[in-house]
Amino acid sequence: MASNSSAVIRASAQTLTDPNELIGSVETFIFDCDGVIWKGDTLISGVPETLDTLRSKGKRLVFVTNNSTKSRKQYGKKFETLGLNVNEEEIFASSFTAAAYLKSIDFPKDKKVYVIGEEGILKELELAGFQYLGGPELDRVAKTLPENIPSSVKRFIDRAVLQSRKNSTREYTFICEEVH
């Protein structure tokens, strides 16, 4: 099995001599959004032409982002604002992935999910029919936790609240340590 992995790595490291050969050999192209399709609210040069070329050759396009501030619908509007025609079904944001994962494990819809994250996650959970606590209003929710909550969980939530206050981009960058 290691030899197959090595072959894949070697193939990906080869110099591209014929772009059409590469395009012809690939069915789906996956693009990260931040820094590949756009920077902030600015479309990166050459993106529309590249996407049009790939679509004209019948290629499937997938757009991914680990930014949970928006739902797929909101990302669809951002693509539209930038002049790109992208279907919601082609967008895989971490917010959508969270809801899709819960569906995949048949998470009970009558149970609640505690969200340490952004508005996009909440929107996707709502669309999927899941109940939740937390989210951007984490401060308020943390103050309403029951008295009998385990101290390890309370410390974890307190760290999340503290980090969300510190981080001006509202991206949660703290590292979750094992809860004891």
Tokens at 61, concatenated: 């396009």
CA 145 to the chain's CA centroid? 28
Question: Catalytic residue among 27, 49, 89, 178, which?
Answer: 27
Q: Is 27 a catalytic residue?
A: yes
User: Which class for 16: exposed (0-12), middle (13-18), buried (19 or more C-beta within 10 A)?
Assistant: exposed
Q: How far apart are CA 173 and CA 38, in angstroms?
A: 21
Other Cβ atoms less than 10 A from the Cβ of 160: the count is: 20
List the catalytic residues. 27
